Structure 1
Amino acid sequence: MLLRTFNEKDKSSGFASYDFKRNSLTSLLSGPYRFGYPMKSELANQLLYTRESFTEFPDLWVADLDMNSPTKISEANPQQQEYNWGTNELVTWTSLDGIELTGMLVKPENFDPTKKYPMLVNFYERSSDGLYRHRAPSAGRSTINYSFYASRGYLIFNPDVHYRIGYPGESAYNCVIPGITSLIEKGFVDKDNIGVQGHSWGGYQIAYLVTKTDIFKAAEAGAPVPNMISAYGGIRWWTGLSRQFQYEHTQSRIGGTPWEYPTRYLENSPIFNIDKINTPLLIMHNDADGHVPWYQGIEFFVSLRRLGKPSWFLNYNGEPHWPLKLQNRKDFTIRMAQFFDHYLKGDPKPKWMERGVPAMEKGINQGYELTSPDK
Structure 2
Amino acid sequence: VTDGNWGIVPDYTPYRFQRRFGDGAADWYRVDLQTGERTLLAREVQFGVEAGDGDSPVLVYGDDHWSAIDLTSMQKTVLAEGRSFTQPLFDHDYPGPHPPWGVGGWADTGEAVLLYDKYDIWLVELDGSSATRITRGEEDGRIYRLVQMDSDVSFGDPYVIDSSQPVWLSFMDERTKDSGYARADLRSGRVNVLLEEPAVVNSLTKAEDADRYALRIQRWDDSPDVFVGGTDLSDLRQVTRTNPFQSDYAWGHSELIKYTTDAGHELQGILVFPAEFREGEQYPLILYQYERLSDGLHRYYTPSQRRYYNYQVWSQEGYFVLMPDIVYEPGRPGPSALDAVEHALDAAVATGHVDAERIGLIGHSWGGYQASYLPTRTDRFAASVAGAAITNFLSFMGAVHWNGGLPETGHWETGQARMAVPYWDDFEAHLESSPAHGIEDLETPVLLMHGDEDGVVDFRQGLEYYNYARRAGKEVVLLVYPGADHSLIREEQQVDYHRRILDWFGHYLKGEPAAVWITEGESWVERRKRISN
Q: Do both proteins adopt the same fold according to a TM-score greater than 0.5, normalized to the shorter chain?
A: yes
TM range (shorter): over 0.9
CA drift of 1:140 comes to 4.5
Match of 2:452 in 1: 287
- TM-score computed with the length of structure 1 as normaliser: 0.93
Do residues 35 (structure 1) and 201 (structure 2) align?
yes
Give the corresponding residue for 1:186. 351
SS in 2 for 1:290: coil
Bigger helix share: 1
Structure with larger Rg: 2
Match for 1:366: what amino acid? R
Equivalent position of 2:485 in the other structure: 320
C-alpha contact 1:350 1:368 (8 A) present in aligned 2: no
Q: Structure 2, unaligned stretches of length 5 or more?
A: 1-166
What does the per-residue CA deviation read over 1:311-330, in whole Å, with 9 as the maximum and x for residues that have no partner?
Answer: 11112211111101122111
Count of paired positions:
367
Query: For the Cα contact (< 8 Å) 2:371–2:384, is it kept in 1?
Result: yes
Aligned to 1:174: 339
Partner residue, 1:94: 260
Post-superposition CA distance 1:31-70 (Å, at most 9, x none): 1000131222345432222111111111121111221211
Q: Equivalent residue of 2:171, what SS?
A: strand
The answer to whether 1:80 aligns with 2:246 is yes
Q: Secondary structure at the match of 1:366?
A: helix
Q: Supply the AA of the counterpart residue of 1:179.
A: A
Cα gap change, 1:24/1:108 in structure 2, threshold over 3 Å: closer, same or farther? Answer: same
Of 287, 296, 300 in structure 2, the residue corresponding to residue 121 of structure 1 is: 287
SS of 2:226's equivalent in the other structure is strand
Alpha-carbon contact 1:222-1:283 (below 8 Å) kept: yes
Counterpart contact for 2:180–2:202, Cα < 8 Å: no
State how 1:88-167 maps to structure 2 within 5 Å.
88-141=254-307, 144-167=309-332
Q: Tell me which residue corresponds to 1:350.
A: 515
CA–CA separation in structure 2 for the residues paired with 1:11 and 1:71 = 23
Question: 1:373 aligns to what?
Answer: none
**Partners of 1:357 and 1:367 within 8 A in 2:** no
The structural deviation recorded for 1:362 is 6.6
Aligned-partner Cα distance in 2 for 1:69–1:280: 55
- The residue type equivalent to 1:150 in the other structure is S
Task: Tell me the secondary structure at the aligned position of residue 192 of structure 2.
Answer: strand
Structure 1 residue identity aligned to 2:473:
G
Q: Distance in 1 between matches of 2:267 and 2:261?
A: 7
Q: Mean alpha-carbon deviation: is it higher for 197-206 or for 346-355?
A: 346-355
Q: Aligned-pair distance for 1:233?
A: 0.6
CA-CA distance at 1:24 after TM superposition:
3.1
Of 443, 447, 456 in structure 2, the residue corresponding to residue 278 of structure 1 is 443
Q: Which of 250, 271, 296 matches 2:461?
A: 296
Shift, 1:365, TM fit: 3.2
Instruction: Determine the C-alpha separation between the residues in 2 that align with 1:367 and 1:137.
Output: 19
- What's the offset of the Cα at 1:368? 9.5
One-letter identity of the residue aligned with 1:201: W
1:5 paired residue number: 171
Once residues 363 and 272 of structure 1 are traced to their aligned partners in structure 2, the CA distance between those partners, rounded to angstroms, is 32
The answer for the alignment partner of 1:54 in structure 2 is 220
Q: CA RMSD in A?
A: 1.7
Partner SS, residue 21 of structure 1: coil
Change (3 A) 1:19 1:69: same
The one-character-per-residue Cα deviations of 1:347-372 (angstroms, maximum 9, x if unpaired) are: 1122222322224x275233899xxx
Q: Does 1:364 align with 2:524?
A: no
Structure 2 CA distance for aligned equivalents of residues 132 and 33 of structure 1: 5
Q: Which residue identity does 1:88 align to in structure 2? A: S
**Partner SS state of residue 229, structure 1:** coil
Q: What is the CA-CA distance between 1:21 and the residue it aligns to?
A: 2.8
User: C-alpha separation between the residues in 2 aligned to 1:364 and 1:341?
Assistant: 21
- Map of 2:428 onto structure 1: 263
1:160 shift after superposition? 0.5
In the alignment, is residue 231 of structure 1 matched against residue 396 of structure 2?
Answer: yes
SS of corresponding position for 1:139: coil
How many percent of aligned residue pairs carry the same amino acid? 35
Match of 1:210 among 352, 364, 375: 375
Partner in structure 2 of residue 372 of structure 1:
none
- Partner letter of residue 282 of structure 2? K
Paired residues of 2:306 and 2:491 also in contact (CA < 8 A): no
The answer as to whether partners of 2:276 and 2:316 remain within 8 angstroms in 1 is no
Cα distance, 1:305 vs structure 2: 1.5
| Equivalent residues of 1:351, 1:368 under 8 A apart | no
CA distance in 2, matches of 1:101, 1:128: 9
Which ranges in structure 1 are unaligned for 5 or more consecutive residues?
370-375
> What's 2:182 paired with?
16
Structure number with the higher strand fraction is: 2
Displacement of 1:268: 1.1
